[in-house]
């Protein structure tokens, strides 16, 4: 029997590939530029090269591959594997990614939303191991989400579920990229955190950030805020704390809604450590009921930047096995 699965994390900048065994050992990894600007065919060619590279470096034969999973930016139809029109992949419109890759590779291919596969990766092999119910928040330019309920991704009827970043946390609040107001993402993403800093400075806060950005407030980003904290700037600490409180509010609601064992956070922002996690934990506890609030552990991701690529493999295995039944 085939014992190996391939996971591919299709990002706007890089394509990451991993070859994983059924017993969860990572046997080969590859990363290469996506060539997104050259359109869908070039990107699929690049993914094919990535798969061939991991086969070669792990010494596994193509015929021993059970399936491959692709974590792609949404929106998409996860069941048919058609990717609609991801904002960071120019020229993509209704690309039948699963079918196209299956034609190129010769084994079953499955496509899933990138935040969902990252969640599944943490459930399968990362910080969520051992938990049956968990959710994941990816903290980047936006806030992505994934939810596992008793070992299964929560997808909803159209596959659009688990948009944690668009939980509403404020009436008539900040305008979000999705067009609505008051979404968690508008406050708790790295972009949202920078907005908090800019708003504070515009209303008179004194901070080293003003100097660091050379007076151009648009240049304030997550890195600058962490540098500010490292240099002992009180305002930078305050901005991180505010961001953590927003996250705690959203996570508190998730805890009441889902009663998870683990809430896993990933993305560059989690490097802030206790400065971020302590106020998140405190707020989430205050915002949730006693039993689920005491139950849920809020923890950093265990797979670093690899949750997506490993989760794509894990998800493909689960879907392959469900299909075979």
Residues that bind Zn ion (CB under 5 A): 166, 176, 178, 180, 183
Nearer to Zn ion among residue 179 and residue 204 (C-beta): 179
* Shortest Å distance, C-beta 188 to Zn ion: 11
Nearer to Zn ion among residue 32 and residue 168 (C-beta): 168
Nearer to Zn ion among residue 50 and residue 145 (C-beta): 145
What number of CA atoms fall less than 13 Å from residue 75's CA on the CB side? Answer: 7
Strand positions, DSSP E, 87-242:
95-96, 109-113, 134-139, 143-149, 152-153
* Shortest Å distance, C-beta 251 to Zn ion: 17
Phi and psi (nearest 5°) for 218? Answer: -65, -20
Nearer to Zn ion among residue 153 and residue 186 (C-beta): 186
* Shortest Å distance, C-beta 124 to Zn ion: 28
Q: Measured between alpha carbons, how far is 312 from 149 in angstroms, rounded to an integer?
A: 18
Strand, helix or coil for residue 129: coil
Nearer to Zn ion among residue 165 and residue 260 (C-beta): 165
Give me the residues paired with residue 148 across strands.
134, 153
Nearer to Zn ion among residue 67 and residue 183 (C-beta): 183
Q: Measured between alpha carbons, how far is 194 from 239 in angstroms, rounded to an integer?
A: 8
| Matching residue, tokens 């990717």 | 83
Q: Measured between alpha carbons, how far is 166 from 152 in angstroms, rounded to an integer?
A: 21
* Shortest Å distance, C-beta 180 to Zn ion: 5
* Shortest Å distance, C-beta 1 to Zn ion: 44
From residue 78, alpha-carbon distances to 53, 108, 280 in Å are 26, 14, 32
Nearer to Zn ion among residue 172 and residue 274 (C-beta): 172
Q: Single out the residue of 46, 53, 145 nearest to residue 97, CA to CA.
A: 46
* Shortest Å distance, C-beta 176 to Zn ion: 3
* Shortest Å distance, C-beta 200 to Zn ion: 22
Q: Measured between alpha carbons, how far is 100 from 159 in angstroms, rounded to an integer?
A: 21
Q: Are the C-beta atoms of 69 and 117 separated by less than 8 Å? A: yes
Sign of CA dihedral 168, 174, 180, 184: negative
* Shortest Å distance, C-beta 149 to Zn ion: 23
Nearer to Zn ion among residue 8 and residue 176 (C-beta): 176
């Amino acid at each position: 029997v085939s014992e190996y699965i391939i996971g591919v994390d299709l990002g706007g900048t890089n394509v990451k590939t991993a070859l994983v065994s059924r017993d969860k050992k990572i046997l080969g990894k590859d990363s290469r530029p996506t060539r997104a600007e050259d359109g869908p065919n070039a990107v699929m060619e690049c993914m094919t090269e990535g798969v061939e590279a991991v086969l070669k470096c792990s010494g596994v034969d193509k015929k021993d591959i059970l399936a491959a999973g692709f974590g792609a930016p949404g929106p998409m139809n996860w069941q048919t594997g058609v990717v609609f029109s991801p904002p960071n992949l120019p020229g993509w419109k209704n690309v039948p990614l699963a079918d196209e890759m299956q034609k190129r590779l010769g084994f079953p291919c499955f496509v899933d939303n990138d935040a969902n596969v990252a969640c599944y990766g943490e459930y399968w092999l990362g910080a969520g191991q051992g938990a049956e119910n968990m959710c994941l928040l990816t903290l980047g330019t936006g806030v992505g989400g994934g939810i596992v309920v008793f070992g299964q991704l929560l997808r909803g009827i159209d596959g659009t579920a688990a948009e944690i970043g668009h939980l509403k946390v404020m009436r008539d609040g900040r305008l979000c990229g999705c067009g609505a107001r008051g979404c968690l993402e508008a406050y708790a993403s790295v972009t949202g955190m920078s907005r908090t800093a800019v708003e504070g400075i515009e209303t008179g806060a004194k901070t080293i950030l003003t100097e660091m950005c050379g007076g151009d407030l648009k240049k304030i980003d997550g890195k600058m805020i962490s540098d500010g904290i490292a240099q002992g700037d009180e305002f930078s600490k305050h901005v991180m704390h505010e961001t953590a409180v927003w996250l705690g509010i959203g996570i508190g609601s998730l805890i009441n809604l889902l009663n998870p064992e683990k809430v896993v956070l990933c993305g560059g922002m989690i490097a802030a450590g206790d400065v971020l996690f302590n106020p998140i934990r405190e707020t989430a506890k205050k915002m949730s009921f006693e039993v689920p609030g005491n139950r849920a552990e809020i923890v950093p991701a265990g797979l670093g930047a690899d949750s997506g690529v490993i989760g794509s493999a894990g998800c493909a295995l689960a879907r392959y096995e469900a299909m075979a039944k």
